[in-house]
Amino acid sequence: MKTPAPIRPFFFLFFFVAMAGVAMGQKYSNEFLSIGVSARAQAMGNAVIASTDDVTSGYWNPAGLANMDSTEGLQLGAMHAEWFAGVGKFDYLGLTIPFATGNRRLGLSLIRFGIDDIPNTLSLYEDDGTVNYDNIVSFSAADYAILGSYAQKWKTKKGREFNIGGNVKIVRRGIGTFANSWGFGFDVGLQWKSGPWLLAATGRDITSTFNAWHVTFTDEEKAVLLATGNELPDINSLEVTKPQIVLGAGRLFQFENFSLLAELNALATTDGKRNTLVSGDPISIDPGFGMEANYQDFLFLRAGINQFQKEGDFDGQKHYISRPSVGVGLQIYSLRVDYAFTDLGDSQNRYSHIVSLRLDLKPKK
């Protein structure tokens, strides 16, 4: 039986990612790239790969950039969030510009997730054994990512139109002056619209992303670590981020003065058994669901849920927890302001306020 033409790109994408996932890798590698950008997405449970159509598509699904034509010009996006009660800070900055032809786009995304002002106590003690608090200095443990995106519209021989896109990404991670790594990877994405239905697929780290770590402890720092019962880490090591695939489906309901969008995404990881709603080895699946009410492209109300995990009580009973989220957005001329209230799905219920901005700079007619 032949695979239907609209489904073939999704089938081949899933097959390629599944085969690439056979490579050995570490679980939760480069996990900071799974947090997500934009308050809109956070409020919708990160279920946006089928409906994304702005600068943040460079992160969620690069194919979504092709929804913008040349008349929309330059678009900028920014987000700031503080997770774990302000301990971890997440920042995003993105831009996208069109080609002259109008059906192609370039995008650039910059991401940083860091924990700052960590006290370094390796020099706390003097040579004579006395404590000198003046020797304590602070350092940061930070992860950086740069994503370069390309997207265009693609028409089949039968006239069906898809959006296709891809990312080249560079990952830089560092722990003070003690250790650092560089990594490189690729993402691909597809979008297809049929009437009110939206379908999408993305493959993240499709060839696996490799982070080469280098440890740079000084001889004095190594001596302190050994004297305090710590093990010295490997001087050089390789961390592998295995492929992920995300499938998404959305439905747009149009009314007289407002519209309602509902979207369901399913994230499939290939790095081993995870605590997700569908847990398997090596593939685990984490679903997410989001809704967005749009009143005349001015006011947006959003809600979502994702990250279903099983948690145990002291009496041994198991139950599921999840990550709910809500948010609102306002379009003020060329500026979109979005807000979300959510957490990272942990049992501590440490909710965070997330704000993101989107600015359109359209060319003069």
Tens of pLDDT along the chain (365 residues) come to 343 444 344 333 333 333 333 334 456 678 888 889 999 999 999 999 999 999 999 999 999 999 988 788 899 999 998 877 678 889 999 999 998 777 899 999 999 999 887 777 766 666 666 666 666 777 788 999 999 999 999 887 777 889 999 999 999 988 877 788 899 999 999 999 988 999 999 999 998 888 888 787 777 777 766 766 666 666 677 888 889 999 999 999 999 889 999 999 999 998 888 888 888 888 999 999 999 999 999 999 999 999 888 777 667 677 778 889 999 999 999 999 999 998 765 555 667 889 999 999 987 76
Residue 359 CA to residue 353 CA, distance in Å, equals 20
Residues 6+ apart with CB under 8 A from 170: 145, 146, 182, 183, 184
266: closest CA among 292, 285, 241? Answer: 285
- Which of 56, 62, 28, 55 lies closest to 41 in space, CA to CA? 56
308: tokens are 């279903």
Yes or no: say if 147 and 32 are a contact pair by the CB < 8 Å rule.
no
User: How far, CA to CA in Å, does 191 sit from each of 33, 182, 186?
Assistant: 21, 30, 17
Structure token pair of residue 64 = 């979504």
Question: What is the C-alpha separation between 139 and 119, in angstroms, rounded?
Answer: 7
Q: What distance in Å separates the CA atoms of residue 241 and residue 123, rounded to the nearest whole number? A: 34
CA separation for the pair 149, 22 (Å, rounded): 26
Six token digits for residue 275: 């605590």
Q: Write the CB contacts of 218 (distance below 8 Å, at least 6 apart in sequence).
A: none
Domain architecture of the chain: domains with CATH: 5-361 (2.40.160.40)
- The reported pLDDT for the residue numbered 23 is 38
- Residues forming a β-bridge with 32: none
Is the distance from CB of 251 to CB of 259 less than 8 angstroms?
Answer: no
Nearest to 305 by CA among 273, 268, 251, 265: 265
pLDDT for 29: 73
Q: Residue 57: which H helix or E strand, with range?
A: helix 57-60
Residues 233, 230: Cα–Cα separation, whole Å: 9
Helix (H) / strand (E) containing 154: strand 137-155
Distances (CA, A) of 116 to 4, 50, 138: 51, 35, 8
Nearest to 42 by CA among 250, 346, 292, 321: 292
CA 107 – CA 74 distance, rounded (Å) = 10
* Whole-number pLDDT of residue 264: 97
pTM (predicted TM-score) = 0.82
What is the model's pLDDT at position 134? 66
Q: What pLDDT, on a 0 to 100 scale, did the predictor assign at position 92?
A: 96
